[in-house]
Chain A
Amino acid sequence: MNSRTPPHLEDRIAQTPRRGLPADLRQACLDMRSSAPRPKPSAQQPAFWLHWFWPHPAAWGGLVILWCTILALHRLAPVPVNVLAATGASTPLIKDPDSARQLAHQRETREELLRQPLPPLDIDRPRKASPPSTNRIA
């Protein structure tokens, strides 16, 4: 710090008035403002669904891909045998003639048994007690 320098030189410098914004530049800026294209409302505010969707686009995209993969695998997978049997597929699933013949026989037997009426049950009639066996005493 120089002792010969008056102490308030900094104040003196700070009080020196700066040049302001030139009037023509100010007017040019104001004209620029009026001639600037106004942004469209759609550009200012994104669609409502974007607010909901946008925070995690990668997560939503991954979910879509996952579902597409599941559906594709579901379509490509072979139909299980029991599903075909349940739907009454006419195509013979058993190609071995002996097995097919045996299966047909089992079906006929089952249908025959189902057609026969069941004998009435005698649960109401009391049973007679049989005399003790003489053989056991002897």
Chain B
Amino acid sequence: MLPLEQILDEHGDAVFSFLLQLSRSEPDARDLFQDLWRRLVENPRLLAEARDPRAFLLHLARNQFIDLTRRRNARTRAHEASQAQPDIAGLFEPAHHPDEHAFREALDRALGQLPEDQRMVVHLKLWESLTFDAIATLLDLSPNTTPSRYRYGVDKLRTLLRPLYDEIRTP
């Protein structure tokens, strides 16, 4: 079994990024990450039987997020929905070039407009390079569902990003 510090170094970025993608709130992502890490510290055997630690941790992260959304009752959700949500969640590293900066902000905003289930699949496919079967296993979905969700999500991203992307690409 790998030491926990090594696990943190190898998979911490990916898990935090996934949590940030799901929650689109840095405080929530931090809380979820700490809760997840606490579980691992208290029970290191959780990872002992995992064939793929990265996939296992992402699965745990997704479950943590689902638990969080269930804990929050409808009243809280309605209250949060009534408030203006930040359209930029800070998913990406800041860029120095103005065009690149604009593209990253637009991408962040566009991802925020995707439904949660599509966003999960798009994230795992594009940034974790998982196969559709692996994504289906990780998210407890049928193998036929993940490609369609990915396709819908990417089509929507194309629609949202096309004007800016064409503008950036035009010399």
Contact = CB atoms under 8 A, between A and B. Distances in A.
Interface in B36-95: 37-38, 41-42, 90-93
Interface stretch (B9-17, B113-121, B137-145): B9-17
B34 A28 contact: yes
A19 B17 contact: yes
B165 A32 contact: no
B126 A13 contact: yes
Contacts of A14: 126-127, 129
Interface of B: 4-5, 8, 12-13, 15-17, 20, 30, 33-34, 37-38, 41-42, 90-93, 103-104, 107, 126-127, 129, 154-155, 157-159, 161-162, 165-166, 169
Given A2-B158, A19-B20, A19-B93, A33 B107 contact: no
A49 B162 CA distance: 68
A13 B107 contact: yes
Contacts of B90: 19
Interface size classification for chain A: 20 to 34
A29 B165 contact: no
A95 interface: no
A16 B92 contact: yes
Nearest to B14: A18
Interface string A1-35: 11011100110111011111110011011101100
A16 to B, nearest CB: 5
A4 B92 contact: no
A56 to B, nearest CB: 24
Interface string A49-90: 000000000000000000000000000000000000000000
Contacts of A29: 8, 12, 33-34, 37
Given A29-B12, A36-B38, 11 more contacts: A9-B158, A9-B161, A13-B107, A16-B107, A17-B92, A18-B91, A19-B16, A25-B34, A26-B12, A29-B8, A32-B37
